[in-house]
Amino acid sequence: MEFPHKMTDDRFYDEVKLKIIPRHKESCASGDEWRTSCQIQLFSKGTCVYENYSGTIKDALIKTLSVLNELLISNTDHENKCFQYGCSNDATVKYQINERFSRMGEKLDKEEYSQSRYYRKFCDDHSIRGDCSREDSDDNYTKTT
Ligand SMILES: [Zn+2]
Protein backbone atom coordinates (compact mmCIF):
# COMPACT_ATOMS: atom_id res chain seq x y z
CA MET A 1 0.00 0.00 0.00
CA GLU A 2 1.06 3.56 -0.68
CA PHE A 3 0.02 6.53 1.45
CA PRO A 4 0.46 10.30 1.25
CA HIS A 5 2.46 11.62 4.20
CA LYS A 6 1.72 15.25 5.09
CA MET A 7 4.42 17.62 6.23
CA THR A 8 4.71 17.80 10.02
CA ASP A 9 3.84 21.50 10.13
CA ASP A 10 0.79 21.15 7.85
CA ARG A 11 -2.54 22.34 9.24
CA PHE A 12 -5.97 22.30 7.70
CA TYR A 13 -5.61 25.97 6.74
CA ASP A 14 -2.83 28.13 5.36
CA GLU A 15 -4.65 31.43 4.92
CA VAL A 16 -7.15 33.40 7.04
CA LYS A 17 -9.20 36.31 5.66
CA LEU A 18 -11.40 38.70 7.59
CA LYS A 19 -13.45 41.17 5.57
CA ILE A 20 -16.16 43.71 6.43
CA ILE A 21 -19.21 43.17 4.20
CA PRO A 22 -21.74 46.04 3.99
CA ARG A 23 -25.38 45.14 3.45
CA HIS A 24 -28.51 47.27 3.15
CA LYS A 25 -31.24 46.38 5.63
CA GLU A 26 -34.76 47.23 4.54
CA SER A 27 -37.70 47.14 6.94
CA CYS A 28 -41.14 48.75 6.82
CA ALA A 29 -41.31 48.60 10.61
CA SER A 30 -37.90 49.93 11.68
CA GLY A 31 -36.65 51.64 8.53
CA ASP A 32 -33.77 51.12 6.13
CA GLU A 33 -30.06 51.44 6.86
CA TRP A 34 -26.63 50.12 5.97
CA ARG A 35 -25.23 47.52 8.34
CA THR A 36 -22.01 45.54 8.31
CA SER A 37 -20.88 42.06 9.22
CA CYS A 38 -17.42 40.51 9.23
CA GLN A 39 -16.80 37.53 6.95
CA ILE A 40 -14.32 34.90 8.19
CA GLN A 41 -12.76 32.57 5.65
CA LEU A 42 -10.14 29.88 6.15
CA PHE A 43 -8.34 28.55 3.08
CA SER A 44 -6.23 25.52 2.40
CA LYS A 45 -4.14 25.64 -0.77
CA GLY A 46 -6.47 28.21 -2.31
CA THR A 47 -9.72 26.38 -1.45
CA CYS A 48 -12.09 27.90 1.11
CA VAL A 49 -12.54 25.20 3.81
CA TYR A 50 -14.48 27.26 6.36
CA GLU A 51 -16.70 30.35 6.21
CA ASN A 52 -18.66 32.15 8.91
CA TYR A 53 -19.81 35.65 9.86
CA SER A 54 -19.61 37.82 12.97
CA GLY A 55 -20.83 41.31 13.79
CA THR A 56 -17.40 42.88 14.24
CA ILE A 57 -13.76 42.15 13.42
CA LYS A 58 -13.06 41.67 17.14
CA ASP A 59 -15.84 39.05 17.43
CA ALA A 60 -14.59 37.43 14.21
CA LEU A 61 -11.06 37.13 15.62
CA ILE A 62 -12.38 35.49 18.80
CA LYS A 63 -14.55 33.09 16.75
CA THR A 64 -11.60 32.32 14.45
CA LEU A 65 -9.36 31.36 17.38
CA SER A 66 -12.07 29.04 18.65
CA VAL A 67 -12.40 27.41 15.22
CA LEU A 68 -8.63 26.98 14.86
CA ASN A 69 -8.50 25.17 18.20
CA GLU A 70 -11.39 22.84 17.35
CA LEU A 71 -10.81 21.99 13.70
CA LEU A 72 -7.46 20.29 13.26
CA ILE A 73 -8.05 17.97 10.33
CA SER A 74 -8.83 18.97 6.80
CA ASN A 75 -11.31 16.96 4.80
CA THR A 76 -10.23 18.75 1.68
CA ASP A 77 -8.56 16.57 -0.91
CA HIS A 78 -5.30 18.09 -2.07
CA GLU A 79 -3.94 14.93 -3.64
CA ASN A 80 -2.54 16.74 -6.67
CA LYS A 81 -1.29 19.84 -4.84
CA CYS A 82 2.22 20.52 -3.54
CA PHE A 83 2.68 19.14 0.00
CA GLN A 84 4.67 22.23 1.08
CA TYR A 85 2.59 23.90 3.78
CA GLY A 86 1.34 27.24 2.43
CA CYS A 87 1.83 26.38 -1.25
CA SER A 88 -1.19 25.96 -3.54
CA ASN A 89 0.70 25.03 -6.74
CA ASP A 90 0.00 21.78 -8.52
CA ALA A 91 2.50 19.04 -7.72
CA THR A 92 4.95 18.13 -10.47
CA VAL A 93 7.18 15.57 -8.74
CA LYS A 94 6.44 12.63 -6.45
CA TYR A 95 8.96 11.32 -3.94
CA GLN A 96 8.91 8.09 -2.03
CA ILE A 97 10.06 8.60 1.56
CA ASN A 98 13.01 6.24 2.14
CA GLU A 99 13.09 6.28 5.94
CA ARG A 100 10.47 7.56 8.39
CA PHE A 101 11.27 9.66 11.44
CA SER A 102 9.24 10.73 14.46
CA ARG A 103 8.38 14.37 15.08
CA MET A 104 11.34 14.42 17.46
CA GLY A 105 13.65 13.26 14.64
CA GLU A 106 14.12 9.67 15.85
CA LYS A 107 14.36 7.06 13.09
CA LEU A 108 11.33 4.74 13.08
CA ASP A 109 11.77 0.98 12.91
CA LYS A 110 11.39 -0.08 9.25
CA GLU A 111 9.65 -3.27 10.36
CA GLU A 112 6.71 -1.14 11.52
CA TYR A 113 6.06 0.21 8.03
CA SER A 114 7.72 -2.36 5.75
CA GLN A 115 4.40 -3.25 4.08
CA SER A 116 3.65 0.39 3.26
CA ARG A 117 5.24 3.10 1.18
CA TYR A 118 4.82 6.76 1.99
CA TYR A 119 5.15 9.60 -0.46
CA ARG A 120 5.05 13.38 -0.82
CA LYS A 121 4.46 15.52 -3.87
CA PHE A 122 5.91 18.94 -4.56
CA CYS A 123 5.75 21.67 -7.21
CA ASP A 124 8.82 22.82 -9.15
CA ASP A 125 9.43 25.66 -6.64
CA HIS A 126 9.59 23.25 -3.68
CA SER A 127 11.03 20.11 -5.28
CA ILE A 128 14.47 20.73 -3.74
CA ARG A 129 14.03 20.05 -0.02
CA GLY A 130 17.46 20.74 1.45
CA ASP A 131 19.44 18.84 4.06
CA CYS A 132 18.34 20.27 7.44
CA SER A 133 15.43 17.93 8.25
CA ARG A 134 15.99 14.20 8.62
CA GLU A 135 12.75 12.99 7.01
CA ASP A 136 12.11 15.95 4.70
CA SER A 137 15.51 16.09 3.01
CA ASP A 138 16.77 15.45 -0.51
CA ASP A 139 18.78 12.43 0.65
CA ASN A 140 15.69 10.79 2.15
CA TYR A 141 13.55 10.89 -1.00
CA THR A 142 13.53 8.77 -4.12
CA LYS A 143 11.88 10.43 -7.10
CA THR A 144 9.15 8.19 -8.55
CA THR A 145 7.54 10.54 -11.10
ZN1 LIG B 1 5.03 24.17 -3.81
List the domain boundaries for the chain: 15-73
How far does the centroid of ligand 1 lie from the alpha carbon of residue 81, in Å?
A: 8
Q: 55: how many CB neighbours lie within 10 A of its CB? A: 11
Residues near 140 by beta carbon (within 8 Å), at least 6 away in sequence: 97, 98, 99, 134
Does residue 8 sit in helix, strand or coil?
Answer: coil
Average pLDDT of the chain, as a whole number: 88
Report the separation in Å between the CA atom of 94 and the middle of ligand 1, taken as the mean of its atom positions.
12
CB 98 within 8 A of CB 142: yes
73 pLDDT exceeds 60? no
- Collapsing DSSP states into helix, strand and coil, what is residue 64? helix
Task: Measure 25 CA to ligand 1 centroid, in angstroms.
Answer: 44
Position 140 pLDDT exceeds 80: yes
- Please give the distance, rounded to the nearest whole angstrom, from the Cα atom of residue 138 to the centre of ligand 1: 15
Q: If you measure from the C-alpha of residue 47 to the centroid of ligand 1, how many angstroms do you get, rounded to a whole number?
A: 15
- Whole-angstrom distance between the N-terminal and C-terminal Cα of the chain? 17
pLDDT at 38: 96
